[in-house]
Structure 1
Amino acid sequence: MKIYTKTGDKGETSLFGGQRVKKTNIRIETYGTADELNSFIGLARSFGLTDQNETIAVQLQNDLFVLGADLATPPTKQAKIARIGQTHFEQLESFIDEVSAELAPLTNFLLPTGTQSASALHIARTVCRRAERICIEARQSEDISEDVIIYLNRLSDLLFVMARLENERSNIPETRWIAR
């Protein structure tokens, strides 16, 4: 199978089910941003995560493929694809609780810095927040599942505590934001 198809040469692509849309369509922007997020999680993994975060990151990358397919397929379309849902949120919340249990309580805003892996997770967190905003905007004109937005909201929180854990395990002190 060739990697190039030439079907997108005129600025269009296909949604699941074959509908052709412009590559600038907001639905395409939603799952393109989810793909970008997935890549930044991969970058964080390439720097070497703690075993705990590595296990979580692999699960997140797999979930983001489900999320991408969900975004590419309107919820009202009858399709045999996996969807993001309650079990995914519960898993994220469980991961958040598990990682947070190992961290000191947060009393200040923190600057997004630290190890390379922590910094990459912070970038992933900000891309996740952007993906969430784009999905919220897309829901105004597109049939986008609310569950996707809930998932992204929880995921950004998880990426934040994962970044904190990377720094904690590497004995890198957190840098507090100081208002001036």
Structure 2
Amino acid sequence: MRIYTRSGDKGETSLIYGQRVPKNDLRVEAYGTCDEANSTIGLALSHLRKEEWADKEAFMEMMQKIQTILFHVGAELATPQGKEVHWKLKKEHVEELERQIDVWDKELDPLKNFILPSGHQASATFHLSRTVVRRAERVAVTLESELDNQLVVSYLNRLSDFLFVAARYINKKLGGTETPLNPDV
């Protein structure tokens, strides 16, 4: 498989099943934003390679699973309405995020005010990932009437919450400092 095909040189690309659309089509924006979020999660994980903590292996495995699911979410967004999706997001995927949020949240100090994205490099990068996922969610909401699987929006919504808690969790585990918002600035 060649990396370049030249088929997009005139501003169009193919969705799954070959339908051609402009590169600024909302579906392309949605799955492209999922790809961007996936890349930022990978960046966050790269900051954790040399770090050690008790459940690092489980954390890294979960994040790689999240990356795989996010890749599949992008494929669902790239599949035209009414066409078969080879891998389908399920309610269990959303529930798994919720369970993990609850586990991590029990270890964290309760929030008393907003916090700034800060602390350990991986934590700050997970905050970046969270904001990119929120953008993907906003685009997916715009497409919602064209989506065969309404769980896409729910998953992206929950994933941004998951990444927020993951950022806080990494700060806690690795000694990163959460910077509270100073409302008087």
Aligned residues of 1:138 and 1:144 also touching (Cα < 8 A): no
Deviations 1:79-107 (A, max 9, x none): 25111120110111111112112111122
* In 1, Cα distance between equivalents of 2:85 and 2:182: 50
Aligned residues of 2:118 and 2:177 also touching (Cα < 8 A): no
1:21 correspondence with 2:21: yes
1:170 is matched with 174
Quote how far apart the aligned CAs of 1:137 are: 1.6
TM-score by length of structure 2 reads 0.90
Instruction: Give RMSD over aligned pairs.
Output: 1.5
Aligned residues of 1:15 and 1:73 also touching (Cα < 8 A): yes
Letter of the structure 2 residue corresponding to residue 145 of structure 1: N
Aligned residues of 1:12 and 1:20 also touching (Cα < 8 A): yes
1:139 correspondence with 2:144: yes
* In 1, Cα distance between equivalents of 2:68 and 2:98: 17
Question: Equivalent residue of 1:139, what SS?
Answer: helix
TM-score by length of structure 1 reads 0.93
1:67 correspondence with 2:70: no
Letter of the structure 1 residue corresponding to residue 24 of structure 2: T
Quote how far apart the aligned CAs of 1:14 are: 0.8
Q: How many residues align?
A: 178
Judged with a 3 Å threshold, the aligned counterparts in structure 2 of structure 1 residues 75 and 100 are, in CA distance, closer, same or farther, namely: farther
How many percent identity over aligned positions?
Answer: 47
Aligned residues of 1:53 and 1:162 also touching (Cα < 8 A): no
Aligned residues of 1:112 and 1:122 also touching (Cα < 8 A): yes
